[in-house]
Structure 1
């Protein structure tokens, strides 16, 4: 007669999305077998911890040479997607349901996820608006319509201020604090998951909120930098005020000198204006590509946040 075998649970290690080509660390595929409750050194939790650490390292690297660039922002949205994928794997683990269901932080945690999802919903709307304004600015720059260009730059800078307000809202989305540690010196294995998992969830949510604020505010900075070469061009070009000269000889001499200097300034100004126009066009084109990529990335993050919230709701109200 065959002996009895211990029942095990098989799960794959979380891997980054295939489109996240900018993430430097990619895990090799492997499978792990475990029949214990997820604890701190369980593979799913340790992978989530590694992803959160990478995300924190990105959001705190403001002094790096690439900080504020479009490449920097795209790496950030990829890292946010990786953390959400690992968080979804942990929420979907069958033995993680009871610790989360019995934790006092579950309801506030649902509110955190909802606030983060709302921030990304507003961010997606702002991306659409900013894309329209960027196209308007670029069209006015091509035609060199000073009045239209000045109006487009003002509107784009106003949109950047609105985006910064969304970043502030995203940073304040994570409000749930992990439960305090138990007073007992020794904790049984059965209660380990009840203690560890809420801490892991709160830690990941705080990292997501901080990184999201850095990502959203980074786009506002990138937008302002794209319009900075245009600002001096828009502000110049006013009529020159002439001093009243009552002596005819001095007036003729002044006109001759003024005409000569105006021709020299026009020649130099034409070259400078051409260079400024070229730099502004390149920056606006880079902003356009960044907006298109962030629209896709923010859509993915928004859906992942909604799915995570639905998973927690299903844990609280299991089907009979």
Structure 2
């Protein structure tokens, strides 16, 4: 029997019901407990970081994502998970493929954003207005791509991957927690992609510090003093470094997603 992709709220209730049904004589596997803990931490971050504007928060979100996927990998390697998920349909695998594809695109978008900041800095250093304008156009294209990615992740987060039902409480719990983790990853990814879409400044306005506050490069103030040319160039360089840090975190998440999909493939098609 297959359960159609259901809304997040329904899947959460199912996971909670499965956990409640677990016998006290069969305690939660340590790997499953770690996964549940990392998912709670990631959901807390996703819910609480909406008003934040510092770039370090996005890096922290990526670190939490990696922790969830690392714990998921440990869970998928257990015999209990293999038994519960062996009959899962291709939709579970497709879900991780979609997440991996999203992070592949995200990595390319971050590279483009870092390049546009570098081009803006080089153009500003030379006093080349055309180069600065071209970098601004490139940034806007990257911003649109990131917003599309965020929308795709928001859609994915509203639906859990279709998975088979399980006749026993332990199997149902594994299925529920894995689905919960998948949705938490999609939710957090939507937040991160949206924040990164807004993080790059309009490079034609590098005399303002307001955009720097969006990444935590400079504190937000109600009245913004003009930047000197040297300081503006320094801020653009700091922006490049911040994006490079996000690229590193994104690459780690991407690798974890690929590893999770390989584990699912091995469960689905054992040797």
Considering the TM-score relative to the shorter chain, is it more than 0.5? yes
Q: Kindly indicate which of the two structures has a greater share of residues assigned to helix.
A: 2
Q: Specify the SS of the correspondent of 2:270.
A: coil
Within the candidate set 51, 56, 75, 2:43 is matched to: 56
Within the candidate set 275, 298, 302, 2:254 is matched to: 302
Please give the residue correspondences for 1:214-229 in structure 2 after superposition, counting only pairs within 5 Å.
Answer: 214-224=191-201, 227=203, 229=205
- Offset, 1:161: 1.6
Which of structures 1 and 2 has the larger relative contact order (alpha carbons within 8 angstroms, sep 6+)?
A: 2
Distance in 2, matches of 1:163 and 1:280, equals 25
RMSD: 2.9
Equivalent position of 2:69 in the other structure: 84
Please give the residue correspondences for 1:140-155 in structure 2 after superposition, counting only pairs within 5 Å.
Answer: 140-155=123-138
Question: Where in structure 1 are there 5+ consecutive unaligned residues?
Answer: 1-35, 233-271
Asked if the contact 2:95/2:161 (under 8 Å) is kept, the reply is no
Equivalent position of 1:119 in the other structure: 102
Distance in 2, matches of 1:316 and 1:122, equals 27
Equivalent position of 1:176 in the other structure: 160
Within the candidate set 41, 55, 74, 2:59 is matched to: 74
Asked if the contact 2:76/2:264 (under 8 Å) is kept, the reply is yes
CA radius of gyration, larger in = 1
- Do structure 1's residue 212 and structure 2's residue 189 form an aligned pair? yes
Distance in 2, matches of 1:305 and 1:198, equals 18
Distance in 2, matches of 1:44 and 1:61, equals 26
- Offset, 1:41: 3.3
Distance in 1, matches of 2:177 and 2:101, equals 22
Distance in 2, matches of 1:276 and 1:173, equals 44
Equivalent position of 2:81 in the other structure: 96
Distance in 1, matches of 2:193 and 2:102, equals 10
- Offset, 1:78: 0.5
TM-score w.r.t. the length of structure 1 is 0.65
Equivalent position of 2:8 in the other structure: none
Asked if the contact 2:120/2:135 (under 8 Å) is kept, the reply is yes
Within the candidate set 173, 181, 185, 1:196 is matched to: 173
- Offset, 1:141: 1.6
Structure 1: which 4+ aligned runs deviate by more than 4 Å? 177-182
- Offset, 1:180: 9.7
- Offset, 1:177: 5.0
Q: How many correspondences in the alignment? A: 232
More displaced, 290-299 or 198-207?
290-299
Kindly tell me: are residues 277 and 161 of structure 1, through their superposed partners in 2, closer, same or farther at Cα, counting changes over 3 Å?
farther
- Do structure 1's residue 230 and structure 2's residue 217 form an aligned pair? no
Distance in 2, matches of 1:288 and 1:95, equals 45
Equivalent position of 2:215 in the other structure: none
What are the Cα deviations for residues 262-305 of structure 1, in whole angstroms up to 9, with x where unaligned?
Answer: xxxxxxxxxx76x2645643442232112211222111111111
What are the Cα deviations for residues 33-65 of structure 1, in whole angstroms up to 9, with x where unaligned?
Answer: xxx9x977332222111111111111112355x
